[in-house]
Structure 1
């Protein structure tokens, strides 16, 4: 069994350095909590010197990983997502202070919904986005609804925000944060030794993350670009005949999972893990 320079174990001999994982700071539609362990095991078993996520979202896979290569890049075209990660890394205490002043009330939720985030400071924008994602039902981004329960504590607990933001800030040390279209991100960082994990919107749910961020026609463009990749990739999507047809040139493995926004109400589902590259 190989070890890193600090004497810690590297179980796959991939040259990765162990790192303390963190939790996503808020829910996010399409989060990979149920598949994260399997995806992370596949990532860690794939030798790579650079790791890139073109659709980082709330970091459901990225933050939960337990090892890292020398270079890591996270990317999301969403201005709210990119700004949140930048503020968590550079100004975690200021972000926590701004979020801790909020209350989970319907009036506050509605007020934040009406705000134009582009008119806020970076910290205010990050605090607004984090608050909305914590409070919104199911971590929805478009069509958010106020989340509440008659039998559980509030979804929004400032003490938990402080803990998760600080852990995420520590994990983001040295990470490159981009806000590029996914195709530009791949083109910029593709090389031998690169590993991309892609978690695009589900097929049929392309508008769930905001208008004009991703269109259904981009799946075919993605398959074409991945077919010319110098590095390697891991792609997760919902199991649809259209997905299997578009990505038929690569290795496709089905996996069982479940979807559900409320505890005890999850329904069985199937996703595919698609792999390939140079």
Structure 2
């Protein structure tokens, strides 16, 4: 048996936008997560933590993961070196020239903290929260997209929230295999079908959806999976419960393009 007693936690703003973030569905997903008994929570595709940081209760164990080295490095720096990272971001401001300069920098030539600060700056200013093919985004209806005081506040809040969280940098399948056990709940937010390359080369490909369905069918724990509603997705995950949900796509949740997604669950 496993415990269903969870500790209340404060919600935190993700430190940067992220393409495919769950801003519009986060409340619904968090409610479903909270209603599912578990004593270990794990996210194989954490991204910027659009769901993780918006949850209001935590079990005794939490694990997050992303195969992107940039994401894993950022989360580790936020947790372990929030003060120095905040200092690095304190005097940065919205600048197209600086955005273009940092895009050209090879992140492997930087220290971990410099690399994390660069990543935050680019993601905060990238149009649409894109990871690939980034272009400088400008707001014409409000303050600049990068405000150092807001970045500092978000970083320090994230550091407190991540204090007891295990952070991994594994392939999703290896991460699931490592932490699967009775009482585990995985929230899966992979790249959308037909958008597999949006987060970088070699991180995820279309063949992995079939492998995912096969691995999830043998879980000891439970899972919640969110994807775009495509016939191929429904076919691949037909063995599980599939709920259709309506949302919309657009910048900062303001777009007008109606879209359908699915929440897939297995118990």
Superposition pairs of residues 257-276 of structure 1, within 5 angstroms: 257-261=247-251, 264-276=254-266
The answer as to whether partners of 1:29 and 1:140 remain within 8 angstroms in 2 is: yes
- 1:233 positional shift: 0.2
Structure 1 contact 14–45 (Cα < 8 Å) conserved: no
Q: What is the number of equivalent residue pairs in this alignment?
A: 265
What's the TM-score, normalizing by structure 1?
0.93
- Compared CA separation, residues 183 and 115, structure 1 to 2 (3 A): same
Gaps of 5+ in 2: none
Q: Residue deviations 1:37-73, cap 9 Å, x none?
A: 0000000001101000000000000011010011000
- Residue in structure 1 matching 2:26, options 31, 36, 42: 36
What SS does structure 2 have at the residue aligned with 1:144?
coil
Superposition map of 1:67-78 within 5 A:
67-78=57-68
Shift of 1:94: 0.8
Q: 1:263 to 1:202 in 2, by over 3 A?
A: closer
Runs of 4+ in 1 over 4 A off after TM superposition: none
* Deviation of 1:152 (Å): 2.3
Tell me, which stretches of 5 or more residues in structure 1 are unaligned?
A: 1-12
| CA–CA distance in structure 1, aligned partners of residues 79 and 253 of structure 2 | 31
Query: 2:117 corresponds to which residue?
Result: 127
Aligned mate of 1:117, from 100, 107, 118:
107
Cα offset, 1:173, TM superposition: 1.1
C-alpha RMSD of the superposition: 1.1
Task: Point out the more displaced range, 15-24 or 34-43.
Answer: 15-24
2:158 aligned residue = 168
Give the match for residue 224 of structure 2. 234
Structure (1/2) with the larger helix percentage: 2
Deviations 1:138-180 (A, max 9, x none): 1100000000133322100001001111111110011000000
Shift of 1:93: 1.3
